[in-house]
Amino acid sequence: MVSQTAEIIRYRSLIGNLVAKDLKVRYKSSMLGFFWSLLNPLLMMMVFTFVFTKLLGETIPHFPVFVLIGLLSWNWTSTSIAAGTTSLVDNASLINKVYFPRILLPISVVASNMANYILALPVILVAMLVAGMDFTPWILYVPVIILVQMTFLIGAVLILSAVHIYFRDTTVLVEVGLLAWFFMTPIFYSVEDVAPNYVSLMYRVNPMASIIAELHTVLYYGGVPDPFFMARTFVTALAMVVVGYLLFNRVSRQLGERL
Amino acid sequence: MAVLNQPDYPAIEFRDVSRRFVLHHERRASFQDWFVGLVRPRGAAEEFWALRDVTFAVRRGETFGLVGRNGAGKSTLLKLVTRILEPSSGSVRVNGRSYAMLELGAGFHPELSGRDNVFLNGSLYGFSRKEMARRFDQIVKFAELERFIDTPVKHYSSGMYARLGFGIAVHMEPEILVIDEVLAVGDQNFQQKCYRALDELKAGGTTILFVSHDANAVRAFCDRAALLSAGQLLDVGPAEDIVDHYQRLLHETEPRVSLLRVRPVDRLGFPCDEVLSGEDLRVEVLLRIPNGGGAAGLGLQLDLIDDAGIHLFGASVDLPSDLPYARQASQRASDLPDTRVAELVIRALPLTTASVRLVATLLDLQRDGREVMDRRETQARVVPGDYTGRGLLRLDHHWSWETTPSPDAANLTAGQVGRH
């Protein structure tokens, strides 16, 4: 364990380079590529706003801002989990040619999508300005929430990428699971309004619900975060990282022959 | 770390290293297979030993060649040295910072420029940006890519690709350099340049593990070498001697009489992993008899042994001289002209459920005694199908009883008849 940690530290530049590779390939056509990646959540925001405020009569004020906060955070999760699950199989040729700590592959997926998320965050601030909403100093709490989400995602992709080596149809389940999860997460609704009875259950079983609710608290409502709320989610996330790490280590020894 | 500085401490050390691969005929790689597997037991798995009990050491600063035919285990051995694979048993020690070139430009991303790829590749081997920046100019100069270093490598020619890959490798100052057959690509000029670079590394004390089909390259370039054949280390010694040995092996004109394969097949001759209880068990044995020779004087023996090691059955036969050729024998074309087939049929297999080893033994009956020439085995599963009896054996049986002549019984019988 100690030697493995030392090894990961020795290879730390690999994460940076894998993230840089990912972003460069994604934004290949320079700035336009980056704006294109912003367009997706903005269009989603418009679709959701139209459907929910015009067709379904949703009454959350500043609905576009509300939904954009959830969508950006959710995008980080869904893209990381989808790409993280297949990250080992996608890099099979590399794994069979070069030795490096394989754990860095799924982690770098989370990291590059995190970079993408952070680059997109200013859009929320612009949207809030346009909507004429107030900022409070609690906006400084956002990095804490990002840290919790990052930990949670690393745990999730370690588990899923390891399982994917044994069960290649994990991708099918992940795809369906992400869709179900999306609807079960208060992105375009507020649990407190829609299903008050389920509030505590939702926050207990769905870390993304807690993360997005806390983002809404500090950004959308400009309110005071409850430190224990994120602390509980963080403990769950850490437990997932530990389970994921142990599982991944078991699998990574067999990668050379399983891929 | 002090130990590493002692010159006689080996750079690479293999001790009784074996590496096994399990070839699943029906590999369980999805949830779907897994659920099916809960109902139906898993098919037989074939074991394949890519390396068997390999022991050798490469001394510090030595250039060590590795020769052998395709499939001898060279690539597996290199993957063990480079930690891509772990040994099934035994120990592999690599003392020092190693750099492996199993393929030139492995890990290059086609969309990235040569420059970005140099840094990405460096980090794949654990080098920081700073360490790579220090080497960058030399690498570009070696690869002669000054004009194209900011072009995405997907536009590179194969020669440019190879030069950049090799340039990175030789500038990493590795203590141990592993090279797999990569110098075969590129033109004469490039090859000479590579050998000059390798000579410089050699002079600088780098240990080099070198795999090549080119016997002359090994002879000229290596101090010592090892010869692998069918996963076993046949010979280790001065490169000259080993290459001679290898060439003798290559030109050997008389392959041995041997067993190629044993497996259960269905009525049509297709391989099957499961055998139904009460059905005929057919075991196909493929033999190699080189140069169209006859099978006279050979004995074949087949044994069934269950998981607990109980010898369930054994039979032997003297093979006829005109043993037929196998129809579609094998995937490997080289086997075709020599491959003969024999089949053992056990009528109405009287086992209920078991995992059995089918062991085929080839005997030379001409020598005094019965000398074992080859042995090969496989696993098969016997499944009960719709048979519901208990126990290990399925014995031919029926229930019988005499009807006692009592009025009640007569009525009962009449009643039964009536119901029918």
Q: Determine whether the interchain pair A21/B112 forms a contact, defined as Cβ–Cβ distance below 8 Å.
A: yes
- Chain B residues touching A28 at Cβ < 8 A: 111
Helix residue spans in chain A (DSSP H): 2-10, 12-26, 30-49, 63-85, 87-90, 92-95, 104-131, 142-166, 170-183, 191-194, 199-205, 207-215, 227-252, 255-258
Q: Write the pLDDT tens digit of every residue in A107-121.
A: 999 999 999 999 899
Of B250, B266, B291, the last residue of a domain is: B250
Structure tokens at A111: 């990291």
Q: Determine whether the interchain pair B120/A17 forms a contact, defined as Cβ–Cβ distance below 8 Å.
A: yes
Which residues of B, range 378-397, sit inside 8 Å of A by Cβ? none
Exposed e or buried b for every residue in A49-61, given b needs 16+ CB within 10 A? beebeeeeebebe
Give the pLDDT of residue B118: 93
- Chain A residues touching B21 at Cβ < 8 A: 257
Give the pLDDT of residue B330: 37
Does residue B220 sit in the same domain as residue B269?
A: no
Task: List Cβ neighbours of B407 (8 Å cut-off, separation of 6 or more).
Answer: none
Residue B182 maps to a domain: yes
Who wins on pLDDT, B183 or A118?
A118
Residue B138 maps to a domain: yes
Residue B396 maps to a domain: no
- What length is written for chain B? 420
Structure tokens at B132: 């790579």
Who wins on pLDDT, B335 or B306?
B306
Does residue B73 sit in the same domain as residue B142?
A: yes
Of B250, B274, B295, the last residue of a domain is: B250
- Dihedral of the CA atoms A151, A8, B19, B82 (nearest 10)? 140
Burial class (CB in 10 A: 0-12, 13-18, 19+), B44: buried
Q: Which one-letter DSSP state was computed for residue B296?
A: T
Residue B407 maps to a domain: no
Mean pLDDT score across all residues of chain B: 81
Residue B414 maps to a domain: no
**What's the whole-number mean pLDDT along residues B320-343?**
63
Cα separation, B44 vs B23, whole angstroms? 9
- Chain A residues touching B82 at Cβ < 8 A: 98-99
Neighbours of A130 (CB within 10 A): 11
* Distance to chain B for A23, nearest Cα, Å: 11
Q: Determine whether the interchain pair A14/B103 forms a contact, defined as Cβ–Cβ distance below 8 Å.
A: no
Does residue B121 sit in the same domain as residue B13?
A: yes
Residue B329: band (very low, low, confident or very high) from pLDDT cuts 50, 70, 90: very low
Q: Is A3 on the interface with B (CB under 8 A)?
A: no
- Chain A residues touching B128 at Cβ < 8 A: 12-13
Give the pLDDT of residue B101: 80
Q: Determine whether the interchain pair A168/B103 forms a contact, defined as Cβ–Cβ distance below 8 Å.
A: no
Q: Determine whether the interchain pair B112/A256 forms a contact, defined as Cβ–Cβ distance below 8 Å.
A: no
Q: Write the pLDDT tens digit of every residue in B2-36.
A: 444 455 678 999 999 999 887 765 555 677 777 77
Cβ pair B272, B279 in contact under 8 A = no
Task: List Cβ neighbours of B140 (8 Å cut-off, separation of 6 or more).
Answer: B114, B118, B146, B149, B167
Residue B332: band (very low, low, confident or very high) from pLDDT cuts 50, 70, 90: very low
Does residue B8 sit in the same domain as residue B74?
A: yes
Does residue B193 sit in the same domain as residue B142?
A: yes
Does residue B122 sit in the same domain as residue B266?
A: no
Does residue B212 sit in the same domain as residue B315?
A: no
The ipTM of this complex is: 0.84
Does residue B243 sit in the same domain as residue B125?
A: yes
- Chain B residues touching A169 at Cβ < 8 A: 30-32
Give the pLDDT of residue B274: 83
CATH code of the domain in which B35 resides? 3.40.50.300
Q: Determine whether the interchain pair A97/B126 forms a contact, defined as Cβ–Cβ distance below 8 Å.
A: no
Q: Is A174 on the interface with B (CB under 8 A)?
A: no
Cβ pair B242, B210 in contact under 8 A = no
Q: Is B110 on the interface with A (CB under 8 A)?
A: no
Residue B67 maps to a domain: yes
Does residue B208 sit in the same domain as residue B274?
A: no
Cβ pair B290, B257 in contact under 8 A = yes
Does residue B17 sit in the same domain as residue B101?
A: yes
Give the pLDDT of residue B22: 78
Q: Determine whether the interchain pair A99/B128 forms a contact, defined as Cβ–Cβ distance below 8 Å.
A: no
Give the pLDDT of residue A115: 93
Give the pLDDT of residue B117: 92
Cα separation, B218 vs B239, whole angstroms? 7
- For B123, which of A13, A94, A166 is closest by C-beta distance? A13
The DSSP annotation for B257-280 comes to: PEEEEEEEE-TTS-B-SEEETTSP
Q: Is B125 on the interface with A (CB under 8 A)?
A: yes
CATH code of the domain in which B298 resides? 2.60.40.2550
Which residue of B92, B123, B132 is the best one to mutate when testing the A interface, meaning the one whose CB has the most A CBs within 10 A? B123
Domain of B202, in residue numbers? 2-250
Structural domain count, chain B: 2
Give the pLDDT of residue A154: 97
Does residue B313 sit in the same domain as residue B237?
A: no
Q: Determine whether the interchain pair B128/A13 forms a contact, defined as Cβ–Cβ distance below 8 Å.
A: yes
Give the pLDDT of residue B244: 83
Query: Which chain A residue's Cα is nearest to B119?
Result: A17
Does residue B155 sit in the same domain as residue B113?
A: yes
- On the question of pLDDT at B292 being above 60, the answer is yes
- What length is written for chain A? 259
Give the pLDDT of residue B233: 86
Q: Write the pLDDT tens digit of every residue in B280-291.
A: 899 988 887 876
Residue B388 maps to a domain: no
Which residues of B, range 62-91, sit inside 8 Å of A by Cβ? 79, 82-86
Residue B296 maps to a domain: yes
Of B226, B250, B274, the last residue of a domain is: B250
CA-to-CA dists, residue A3 to A6, A9, A10, A167, B36, angstroms: 5, 10, 10, 30, 40
Q: Write the pLDDT tens digit of every residue in A156-189.
A: 999 999 999 988 889 999 999 999 999 999 998 8
Residue B328: band (very low, low, confident or very high) from pLDDT cuts 50, 70, 90: very low
Q: At what angle do helices B158-170 and B129-143 cross, to 10 degrees?
A: 130
Residue B186: band (very low, low, confident or very high) from pLDDT cuts 50, 70, 90: low
